[in-house]
Amino acid sequence: MVVEPKYIYPRLPTQFSTDTWLSWPWFGTSFPIFSNIAFNYSTLHFINNMALSEQCIFHGTSYVTGTASATLLAADLELSFWGGVNPKTGEVIDRFHPLSGRILKDTILAIPGGRGSCGGSVVMMELILNGLGPKALIFELAVVTLNPEDFRRVLGWDGRTIHVQDDLVSDGPLSVNITHNAVKPAVDLNKCNVQLTDSDRAMLDGAHSEAAKISLKIIIRMADMMGARELMDVRQAHTDGAWYGPGSVAFGKRLRDWGGKFKVPTTINSLNIDQKRWRALGVNAEFGSSCDELAKAFVDMGGKISFTCAPYLLDKAPKLGDPVAWGESNAVIYANSVLGARTLKNPNMLEALIALTGRAPKAGAYLDENRFASIWLKVTPPETTDDSFWPILGYALGAIASARIPVITGLEHLKPNSDNFKAFSAAFATSSSAPMFHMVNLTPEAPTLEAVCCNGIAPKTIDVDWKDLDAIWDEFNHGSEPRDIDLIAFGNPHFSLREIKEVAKLCHGRSKKEDVAVIVTCGRAQYSLAVQAGYVGELERFGIQFLQDTCWCSIEEPVIPKNTRTIMTNSGKYIHYGPGLTGKQFAFGNLKMCINAACTGKTSGDPPSWLVESRSK
């Protein structure tokens, strides 16, 4: 029986040095698990064999040889490891996920795939270093849909002991002879099918640096996994590897110490700290210093001191058709979709390796044929909208699209601005694993529906209306009820000058409630513009605090006041990740609702007017 394709990843070693991690052939294969860039490139088959005493055995393709027997932890919903799993405990902390509260250590995890953040590779590395990772991972690919029956049967084994032997998965012990005890490389670089240039070979021979040599080996392995036949040049990179963790610090410092220098212009994502103010904010000295060390490693390799999760707001943002290597999920979606640039949904660290070599696998969203829409989402929008419409819509459509690139119609008359696209992209990236979306007559590659459809043939259609958005509102707010608010969190992704201006307008002539904190995170460039325009001074007098360099996905106590119980945000990304990351209660609203809560200390829980009007019809 041919069934829906799957990946199997047997157990990783729990202890190894940074040298081993960087040179270990399997290093790159953690990336497709958690950023889904491999989902579009491989078709695997499982065979249902019921001849062996009714024992069910599935056969697939293993990228790491090994064995494991453990309790199955299964769910039929994708999981973002970053923001969804605590690397210090192994607990699933995504409070929107059915596995919330479960522990990954020494289990075999079966889920359809990854989604959301590009940082899953970093979290997986930290789990491994902490000895908290699962013994094996089983994924379902949704690209080629055949017979899903067998994968559903695997999900039904949740809580039972299952067995993995290389490319076999069974509900009973496997009698396959074990001829190896160590992890073996799945791809021999000398036998791979990736064509190399003379400069590639020179780099592999050490012509540049040890860092470039090791990086290119990993990129070639990744390219071979993805079915790429050659590598390609990129014009710039945005590294998302400066998120703190002991493994991340060791990774960045080792690449630098190996002589690594970025070969293309490279910006750096937001950090875990405000570099200029972390001491004054009471951040733990050891933690703050380690974050500084990590940032310095990337700067020493030539990274620009940008420290923003919204690199598309920078002056050097890529143009239509530019091949780049970006990390940070919201930025990847924005670059591919809104700017029309081309990047893989790079997992943390891979984009840094590409930056060190200037070379990337010629596959995925770099290629025309992989940018076509595979689902058509026909949206019937409300008659009126506000800024809350875009994150709610992005989250809803991302969940529907899953790993598929959608073409979206029905929004042409709304004329979203760059901030609307930013909010949409961040929410879409949170609930989806697709690398991009198209909006007909709004995004550069979609002047018409036919332009983004393979051979001009429209794909399967799904209708989306206010009821779908109403369900997301209720999910974000856990129903609609009044609540006391302690903290307003703005800037996930980083606020733009326009958004800061809008907040200043909403705060003008009003007074903030003394015991409500309001914090805005933004990049240095946008902050400087806001200072020059006078908005920062005005908002600081109102009582708003500005943080640079860091973002809400990385902020903890004491920057979040210790007495905080409920946080309110306008971000479709932070409303998803925030509860698990902080342990706090959350509420969602538009900018006006958030400022009202800052002034009163309460939110009514009532939905926005555009949703109220839709409900009344």
Evaluated on CA atoms 359, 452, 193, 47, the torsion sign reads positive
3-state secondary structure of 304: strand
CA angle 412, 428, 243 (to 5 degrees): 140
- Give the tens place of pLDDT for each residue, 124-164: 989 989 999 998 888 775 333 324 566 677 778 888 888 87
Q: H or E segment at 587?
A: strand 585-588
Tokens 């979709």 belong to residue: 337
Residue pointed to by tokens 């007559």: 441
Give the dihedral sign, CA 281/312/368/433: positive
Residue 529 confidence (pLDDT): 98
* 479-615 shares the fold of 198-361: yes
Q: Which residue has the tokens 């690209």?
A: 143
pLDDT digits (tens, 9 = 90+) for 48-66: 333 344 678 776 666 666 7
Q: How confident is the model at residue 425 (pLDDT cuts 50, 70, 90)?
A: very high
Predicted confidence at residue 48, as pLDDT, reads 37
Looking at residue 150, what is its pLDDT?
65
Provide the 8-state DSSP code for 52: T
pLDDT, one tens digit per residue, over 81-117 is 999 999 999 999 999 999 999 999 999 998 888 898 9
Cβ–Cβ < 8 Å for 503, 520: yes
The mean-pLDDT minimum among 9-18, 236-245, 422-431, 528-537 falls in 9-18
Provide mean pLDDT across the span 365-389.
Answer: 97
**pLDDT value at residue 45:** 32
Q: What is the C-alpha to C-alpha distance for residues 417 and 196, in angstroms, rounded to an integer?
A: 42
Strands (E), 173-240: 231-233, 237-239
Q: Which residue has the tokens 């490139």?
A: 41
pLDDT at 266 over 50: yes
Mean pLDDT for 12-36 is: 33
Residue 155: what pLDDT?
A: 78
What's the CATH number for 198-361? 3.30.499
Structure tokens of 2? 């041919």
Residue 386 binned pLDDT confidence (cut-offs 50, 70, 90): very high
Across 370-391, average pLDDT: 97
Query: Half-sphere exposure (CA, 13 Å, Cβ side) for 552?
Result: 29
Query: What angle do helix axes 524-533 and 535-542 make, rounded to 10 degrees?
Result: 90
Homologous superfamily, domain 479-615:
Aconitase, domain 3 (3.30.499.10)
323: pLDDT confidence band, cut at 50, 70 and 90? very high
Q: Is the pLDDT of residue 572 over 50?
A: yes
Percent of the chain with pLDDT over 70: 86
Which has the higher per-residue pLDDT, 26 or 210? 210
Task: State the average pLDDT over residues 256-277.
Answer: 98
Which range (21-30, 109-118, 415-424, 482-491) has the least confidence? 21-30
Residues 6+ apart with CB under 8 A from 83: 93, 94, 116, 117, 119, 553, 576, 577, 580, 581
Q: Which of 187-201, 387-401, 430-444, 506-520 has the lowest mean pLDDT?
A: 187-201
Q: Lowest mean pLDDT: which of 90-104, 188-202, 336-350, 592-606?
A: 188-202
What is the reported pLDDT for 453? 97
Q: Is the pLDDT score of 360 beyond 50?
A: yes
C-alpha 439/C-alpha 543 separation (Å) is 38
- Residue 1 above 70 pLDDT? no
Q: Which of 436, 353, 356, 423 is nearest to 395 (CA)?
A: 423
Spatial distance between the Cα atoms of 590 and 571, rounded to a whole number of angstroms: 9
* Least trusted range by pLDDT, from 169-173, 178-182, 379-383, 467-471: 178-182
Q: Which residues pair with 139 in a beta bridge?
A: 7, 111
Least confident of 162-176, 274-288, 329-343, 526-540: 162-176
517-563 pLDDT tens trace: 999 999 999 999 999 999 999 999 999 999 999 999 999 999 999 99
Angle between helices 418-431 and 574-582 (to 10 degrees): 50
User: pLDDT band at 173, cuts 50/70/90?
Assistant: confident
Is 117 a catalytic site residue? Answer: yes
Closest CA to 348 of 159, 116, 607, 518: 116
Average pLDDT on 236-252 reads 91
Q: What is the pLDDT of residue 64?
A: 63
Q: Give the start-to-end residue ranges of the domains of the chain.
A: 6-170, 198-361, 372-464, 479-615
d(CA 303, CA 311): 13
Give the count of alpha carbons within 13 A of 604, CB side only.
Answer: 9
30, 62, 80, 117: the catalytic one is 117
**Cβ–Cβ < 8 Å for 355, 235:** no
Interatomic CA distance for residues 55 and 36, integer angstroms: 31
pLDDT value at residue 30: 31
Give the separation between CA 514 and CA 102, rounded to whole angstroms. 39
Tokens for 462, please give them.
Answer: 């799904």
Say what the pLDDT of residue 191 is: 76
**pLDDT (0 to 100) of residue 21:** 37
What is the third-level CATH fold of 6-170? Glucose Oxidase; domain 1 (3.50.30)
